[in-house]
């Protein structure tokens, strides 16, 4: 059975060119870049190329820091805990502003910081499944140390107005962090246009390898390291450099940015085709206006069909998708995003996320529409509520 991968917001296939670029660093150029001998020094030019690609890709300046981390979870932890140790623990500030729809690595770190006495404001999304800059502006107080708002939402694909939020933070002298994991490779992420102080990315979300991410830190800002140890990354993030990972992430970033026009045209076209195809089913609802979303994501609620049951049927026919449905998660509470956009309660326990990539083909989308439609038909015939 040909499988169809429509879960690219969870992880992506490694671009074969990226895989190839990483190949030399396992058995050939395996030196530790910190070593003085030739095994160590021979990888330095390659690392410089990769770092240049990252700086260029994100629009970072020479004297900004892009710290290599193990994943976006680490990057986000480093920012939130670093700000806590630097600004909050010494009593200067005591407040963080974030949203109710952040990834668990931000949400749960905030919960942890609340236990340490930090006050956290969780802003809900509005009917567009967005958090507007005005809401952030109103939430900032004299005691606010940091605002952390994601660039694009992982579930809905809705892009948040990070530029306006960053400007609002700058006006109020508050640090701004954005988790850009779901934005890189889908929309232009340019730190010259968005004056964020911290930004997190993860390579495996844009066809790079798993286990490597990065944290941008705007010049002049000090952030206590999350990992103490050796002098790697100027002592700002200790740990032997993940050479293959850095090289892979660098190339993946360059390829992702080179593909942005394709993403915006072709991936969007296929996503819209999928969306239109599924919207022909009665009683379905797509979350978030198209023009507000990244080009690859579709979150659809299907009346009368529970999310995990639909996922099971799709998987049976080789289609990989994802669900935010309560049945597959810890809580039976309604999905907060669906509730926030004002949809009826009967839609809040359904919902499937389909996320494409530049590797998705038209034939796959056609097959997905057929299979999805059949699965909904079968489950609605069983459904007690449809």
Partner 1 sequence: MPKNELIGGSLWEAYSKKVAARMDNPVNRGELTEADARKLGGRLVVADHGAESCGDAVRLYWVVDDKTSVIKAARFKSFGCGTAIASSDMMADLCVGRTVAEAAKITNIDVERSLRDEPGTPAVPPQKMHCSVMAYDVIKKAVALYQGVDLSSLETETIVCECGRVSLGTIVDAIRLNDLKTVADITHYTKAGGFCKSCIAPGGHEKRQHYLVDILRDTRAAMEKENLHKRMETEDFASMTMVRKLKAVEKVFTEQLRPMLAADGGDVELVDLKEAGGAWEVYIQYRGACMGCPSAGTNTLSAIEAVLRQRLGETIKVVAS
- In terms of phi and psi (left: phi > 0; alpha: psi -120 to 50; beta: otherwise), the region of 304 is left
Q: Applying CB under 8 A, which part among 20-28, 243-251, 289-297, 311-319 lies near partner 1?
A: 311-319
327 labelled catalytic: yes
For residue 119, the minimal CB distance to partner 1 (Å) is: 20
For residue 308, the minimal CB distance to partner 1 (Å) is: 4
Measured from the CB atom, the residue of 76 and 323 that comes closer to partner 1 is 323
Q: Is 331 in the site for partner 1 (CB under 8 A)?
A: yes
For residue 314, the minimal CB distance to partner 1 (Å) is: 12
Instruction: Name which position in 50, 51, 107, 326 contacts partner 1 (CB under 8 A).
Output: 326
Instruction: Name which position in 168, 305, 369, 376 contacts partner 1 (CB under 8 A).
Output: 305
Bridge-partner residues for 216, per DSSP?
66, 199
Centre a 10 Å sphere on the Cβ of residue 206 and count the other Cβ atoms it contains. Answer: 28
Measured from the CB atom, the residue of 133 and 305 that comes closer to partner 1 is 305
Instruction: Name which position in 157, 208, 307, 351 contacts partner 1 (CB under 8 A).
Output: 307
Q: Applying CB under 8 A, which part among 194-202, 215-223, 301-309, 359-367 lies near partner 1?
A: 301-309
Q: Is 328 in the site for partner 1 (CB under 8 A)?
A: yes
Q: Applying CB under 8 A, which part among 15-23, 39-47, 71-79, 320-328 lies near partner 1?
A: 320-328
Dist CA 281 CA 2 (whole Å)? 25
Q: Is 161 in the site for partner 1 (CB under 8 A)?
A: no
Bridge-partner residues for 122, per DSSP?
98
Q: Applying CB under 8 A, which part among 155-163, 185-193, 288-296, 346-354 lies near partner 1?
A: 346-354
Active-site residue, selected from the candidate residues 71, 110, 169, 327? 327
Indicate which residues carry an active-site annotation.
327
Q: For binding to partner 1 (CB under 8 A), which residues are involved?
A: 303-309, 312, 315-316, 325-328, 330-332, 334, 344-346, 348-349, 381-386
């Amino acid at each position: 059975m040909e499988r169809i991968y429509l879960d690219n917001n969870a992880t992506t296939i490694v671009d074969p060119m990226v895989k190839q670029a990483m190949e030399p660093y396992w058995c050939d150029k395996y030196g530790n870049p910190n070593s003085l001998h030739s095994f160590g020094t021979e990888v330095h030019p390659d690392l410089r190329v990769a770092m240049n690609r990252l700086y260029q890709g994100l629009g970072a300046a020479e004297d900004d820091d892009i710290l290599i981390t193990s994943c976006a979870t680490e990057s986000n932890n480093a920012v939130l805990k670093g700000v806590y140790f630097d600004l909050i623990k010494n009593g200067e500030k005591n407040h963080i502003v974030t949203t109710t729809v952040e990834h668990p690595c931000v949400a749960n770190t905030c919960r942890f910081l609340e236990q340490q006495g930090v006050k956290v404001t969780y802003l809900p999304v509005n009917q567009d499944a967005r958090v507007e800059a005005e809401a952030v502006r109103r939430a900032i107080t004299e005691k606010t140390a940091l605002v952390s708002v994601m660039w694009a939402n992982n579930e809905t694909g809705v892009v948040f107005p990070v530029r306006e939020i960053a400007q609002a933070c700058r006006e109020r002298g508050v640090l701004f962090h954005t988790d850009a994991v779901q934005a890189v490779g889908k929309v232009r992420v340019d730190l010259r246009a968005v004056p964020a102080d911290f930004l997190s990315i993860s390579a495996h979300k844009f066809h790079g390898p798993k286990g490597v991410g990065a944290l941008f830190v705007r010049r002049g800002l000090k952030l206590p390291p999350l990992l103490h140890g050796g002098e790697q990354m100027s002592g700002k993030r200790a740990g032997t450099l993940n050479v293959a990972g850095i090289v892979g992430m660098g190339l993946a970033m360059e390829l992702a940015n080179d593909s942005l026009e394709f993403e915006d045209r072709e991936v969007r076209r296929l996503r819209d085709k999928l969306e239109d195809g599924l919207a022909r089913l009665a009683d379905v609802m797509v979350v978030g206006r198209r023009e507000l979303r990244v080009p690859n994501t579709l979150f659809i609620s299907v009346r009368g069909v529970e999310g995990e049951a639909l996922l099971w049927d799709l998987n049976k026919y080789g289609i990989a998708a994802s669900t935010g449905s309560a049945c597959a998660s810890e809580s039976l509470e309604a999905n907060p995003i669906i509730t926030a956009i004002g949809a009826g309660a009967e839609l809040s326990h359904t919902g499937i996320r389909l996320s494409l990539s530049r590797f998705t083909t038209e034939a796959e989308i056609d097959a997905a529409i057929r299979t999805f439609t059949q699965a909904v038909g079968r489950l609605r015939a069983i459904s007690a509520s449809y």
